[in-house]
Chain A
């Protein structure tokens, strides 16, 4: 085993997922954290490092009865948890702490115990984007796609197919919010949200949470669950303003993050058995497949259309059903991480047979930031 290796020894989601009107946001964090601690056989007093968002780390530390000697409140949107994993791994390796709890909880749908939406009209996006009628991610995250589609000749049918394939995976998952099969025609006849995006190309809005516990790989063998090792990690950031994204056909943050993670893991793309790409909208798997290097620029839509990422395909992608069909509380990255861990433990509802390496890639904000974690069930 490499001298500096980190493992996931506890992982869990909230007991319920979907619509949870009887739990406030901080209790969603706590429910997931208690489940993860039970999974790892730990008590709050065993945890000495804490990372979380969108709750404040000190609030959650007090709520859970944890006295952390290392804290991280990195908040770059929905991939923040990938960054928490990366930072925690570095902190454990540096001896800053030994057992890190990372939590997410979000009352995205029921909005219990959540502050109001607020906008800062003096910020750069407040001055130069908000006046033009933007209405959250469906009208902002989506803006680049027409440029991508024109550049590579991608059709609305191909965009729709992303949602169709992910629904096939969701159908295998009892906890998925949406399980009924859909066709390309169903997607293209669903309600128009922001052209060219229709309802079924947009993620769900649900309630839930998840938590992970990390420690050194040396200690991991003493825990009840089979360890899931971290082979490589990456992170990146580009612009919080979509209008200032360098190139609307590719994400610089994705490329930076993915390259770092693959280099650190020392693996090539053909070694990857399972892949998660944060899919807030149907175009994200296209950008992810290309920017991570699984497909050449412009080839991801054809790759998905030809069922390479579908059940039975050579590169199983978003096997929980993704943000489009499984759940999406607002910061989905935690649920992508949970599915990678389940696949590496061999306990996923749509288990990929003999999967040994899983790549989990997240986006934060609207192409604003990125985080990539490469997991394995084989000790490095």
Chain B
């Protein structure tokens, strides 16, 4: 049996800037030039007001822990138990991720704890953003 691999994203024309950003060590979001709202996941228009005038910008990488589960079932190549989390970025949007750099326990994973993005290269094309406790 082939070794299980993490299912990696296939970038599309509308998301390529995001994956080029993570490969360069930047978390890139988009913001509407008209209503100024930041949003995610990527698309070439504002989901709030429908404007096509939008810009890519580098986010701070700061976030807080919005909610999560800790998966206990075997899921190669992941090592259970591991967290699957949704974080709220300082700029407003939320994204799914794994919380790394701390025990995968309810005690270590407190809702609203401050987090910082970290990047882990998977392939030449894909680098994934994860989050670790701020200051860790």
The answer to whether A135 touches B111 (Cβ under 8 A) is: no
Grouping DSSP codes into helix (H, G, I), strand (E, B) and loop, the A interface class, with mixed when no group exceeds half, is mixed
Chain B proximity of A143: nearest CB distance (Å)? 5
The answer to whether A143 touches B86 (Cβ under 8 A) is: yes
In the complex, whether B9 has a CB less than 8 A from a CB of chain A is yes
The answer to whether A126 touches B7 (Cβ under 8 A) is: yes
Q: Which of A139, A147, A191 contacts B111 (CB 8 A)?
A: A147
The answer to whether B10 touches A194 (Cβ under 8 A) is: no
Using CB atoms, name the residue of chain A closest to B122: A131
Chain A proximity of B95: nearest CB distance (Å)? 6
In the complex, whether A248 has a CB less than 8 A from a CB of chain B is yes
Residues of A within 8 A of B67 (CB): 143-147, 248
With A143-B69, A147-B111, A244-B41 known as contacts, the answer to whether A127 contacts B78 (CB < 8 A) is: no
Most chain A C-beta atoms within 10 Å of own C-beta, residue among B12, B96, B97: B96
The answer to whether A193 touches B6 (Cβ under 8 A) is: no
In the complex, whether B11 has a CB less than 8 A from a CB of chain A is yes
Most chain A C-beta atoms within 10 Å of own C-beta, residue among B69, B70, B75, B85: B69
Q: Which of B12, B70, B94 contacts A122 (CB 8 A)?
A: B12
Q: Identify which of residues 50-95 in chain B touch chain A, using a CB-to-CB cut-off of 8 Å.
A: 66-73, 75, 78, 81-82, 84-86, 94-95
Instruction: Tell me, in angstroms, the Cα distance from A191 to B73 when the chains sit together.
Output: 10
Instruction: Tell me, in angstroms, the Cα distance from A129 to B72 when the chains sit together.
Output: 18
The answer to whether B94 touches A130 (Cβ under 8 A) is: no
Chain A proximity of B90: nearest CB distance (Å)? 16
In the complex, whether B101 has a CB less than 8 A from a CB of chain A is no
In the complex, whether A134 has a CB less than 8 A from a CB of chain B is yes
In the complex, whether A56 has a CB less than 8 A from a CB of chain B is no
Residues of B within 8 A of A126 (CB): 7, 9-10
Using CB atoms, name the residue of chain B closest to A129: B96
Using CB atoms, name the residue of chain B closest to A146: B67
Chain B proximity of A283: nearest CB distance (Å)? 11
Q: Which of B8, B72, B86, B128 contacts A193 (CB 8 A)?
A: B72
Chain A proximity of B33: nearest CB distance (Å)? 22
Using CB atoms, name the residue of chain B closest to A147: B67
The answer to whether B84 touches A132 (Cβ under 8 A) is: yes
In the complex, whether B116 has a CB less than 8 A from a CB of chain A is no
In the complex, whether A119 has a CB less than 8 A from a CB of chain B is yes
The answer to whether A127 touches B15 (Cβ under 8 A) is: yes
Residues of A within 8 A of B86 (CB): 143, 242-243, 248
Q: Identify which of residues 116-139 in chain A touch chain B, using a CB-to-CB cut-off of 8 Å.
A: 119, 121-122, 124, 126-135, 138-139
Residues of A within 8 A of B96 (CB): 128-129, 132, 134, 241-243
Using CB atoms, name the residue of chain B closest to A191: B72
Chain B proximity of A35: nearest CB distance (Å)? 36
The answer to whether A194 touches B111 (Cβ under 8 A) is: no
In the complex, whether A27 has a CB less than 8 A from a CB of chain B is no
With A127-B41, A128-B41 known as contacts, the answer to whether A147 contacts B66 (CB < 8 A) is: yes
Residues of B within 8 A of A129 (CB): 96
Residues of B within 8 A of A191 (CB): 72
The answer to whether B7 touches A131 (Cβ under 8 A) is: yes
The answer to whether A195 touches B81 (Cβ under 8 A) is: yes
The answer to whether B10 touches A192 (Cβ under 8 A) is: no
With A127-B15, A146-B67, A243-B95 known as contacts, the answer to whether A135 contacts B9 (CB < 8 A) is: no
Instruction: Tell me, in angstroms, the Cα distance from A195 to B68 when the chains sit together.
Output: 8
The answer to whether B15 touches A133 (Cβ under 8 A) is: no
Instruction: Tell me, in angstroms, the Cα distance from A243 to B40 when the chains sit together.
Output: 10
Residues of B within 8 A of A139 (CB): 69, 71, 84
With A146-B111, A243-B94, A243-B96 known as contacts, the answer to whether A131 contacts B71 (CB < 8 A) is: no
Instruction: Tell me, in angstroms, the Cα distance from A248 to B113 when the chains sit together.
Output: 17
Instruction: Tell me, in angstroms, the Cα distance from A94 to B87 when the chains sit together.
Output: 46
Q: A133-B6, A139-B71 known; 10 other A-B pairs, CB under 8 Å?
A: A127-B9, A127-B15, A128-B9, A131-B128, A139-B69, A140-B84, A142-B69, A146-B67, A191-B72, A243-B96
Binding site for A on B (CB under 8 A): 6-12, 15, 41, 66-73, 75, 78, 81-82, 84-86, 94-98, 106, 111, 128
**19 A–B pairs (Cβ distance < 8 Å), ordered by A:** A121-B7, A121-B9, A126-B10, A127-B9, A127-B12, A128-B95, A132-B85, A132-B98, A133-B75, A133-B82, A143-B69, A145-B67, A147-B66, A194-B72, A194-B84, A195-B106, A196-B106, A241-B96, A242-B96
9 closest A-B pairs by beta carbon, nearest first, are: A127-B9, A195-B70, A147-B67, A122-B10, A194-B69, A243-B96, A133-B78, A121-B10, A192-B72
